[in-house]
Amino acid sequence: MSGPDDRPGTHGAPDLRPRPQYGEYATPEEQRARIQRPDMTQLLDAGQDPDAVTAVPAGAAVAPAAKAGAPVRRGRFADLVATTALLVYGLVNVVSGIPGMIDYESYVGTVFGLLGVDAELADPAAGRPWGLAAALILAIGWLATAYLSWRSLRRGRITWWIPLVAGIVFTFVSGTLLMVPIVSDPTVWNAILDTAR
């Protein structure tokens, strides 16, 4: 260790403390240079995980690390694939379901056939607006979902959950609209009760 520092102390007396050897009085930059760790701000700006970066020589430039970036890229690619697959699946369901919703009498016949109920709506024409509303909700819902998913993907966010949740919500809403004329028709209820007996 070197001798005491003869600089004046706080009260005019010479500072008798030894010169620092281990960075006690060093600035954060000097400390980083000594321990050979890159600046965390640089790492975060470069999109790297600070915990995944090993020590680098002092003064070396911080370059994007392939090891730190690879898992992020794989995760984003998997998210893109899952999001796209869910959007395509939703589009197929929307495109194949809308014609049946618009032809509401055919839709009701299919539902009654599945339930094993021999019945007809008292006023089949009254169900058509409900079928159109359900088809419209489903189409607008898919378009809104595709737009939100695209924006989320562009911002680098996890996106797969958006089409999943939206698909459940819009399918439930359109299904509820389709069932309103059926459950509000007393003729249908009588036929269901007769079938249950």
Please write the tens of the pLDDT for every residue from 132-160.
999 999 999 999 999 999 999 999 999 99
Q: Check: CB of residue 42 under 8 Å from CB of residue 64.
A: no
Q: Check: CB of residue 192 under 8 Å from CB of residue 119.
A: yes
Look at residue 108 in the predicted model and tell me its pLDDT: 86
Residue 112 pLDDT class (50, 70, 90 cuts): confident
Q: Check: CB of residue 15 under 8 Å from CB of residue 9.
A: yes
Q: Which residue has the tokens 């998913």?
A: 149
**Mean per-residue pLDDT over the chain, rounded:** 78
In this predicted structure, the answer to whether residue 6 has a pLDDT above a threshold of 70 is no
Would residue 141 be called left, alpha or beta, if left means φ above 0 and alpha means ψ between -120 and 50 degrees? alpha
Look at residue 191 in the predicted model and tell me its pLDDT: 75
Look at residue 46 in the predicted model and tell me its pLDDT: 67
- Report the percentage of the chain scoring pLDDT > 70: 65
Q: What is the mean pLDDT of residues 37-63?
A: 57
Residues 57-69: b if buried by 16+ CB within 10 A, e if exposed: eeeeeeeebeebe
- Does 93 or 113 have the greater pLDDT score? 93
In this prediction the pTM is 0.58
Tokens of 115: 């339930």
Residue 65 pLDDT class (50, 70, 90 cuts): very low
- Does 29 or 66 have the greater pLDDT score? 29
- Does 39 or 115 have the greater pLDDT score? 115
**Lowest-confidence segment of 19-28, 88-97, 124-133, 141-150 by average pLDDT:** 19-28
In this predicted structure, the answer to whether residue 173 has a pLDDT above a threshold of 50 is yes
Q: Check: CB of residue 4 under 8 Å from CB of residue 16.
A: yes
Residue 174 CB neighbours (<10 A): 24
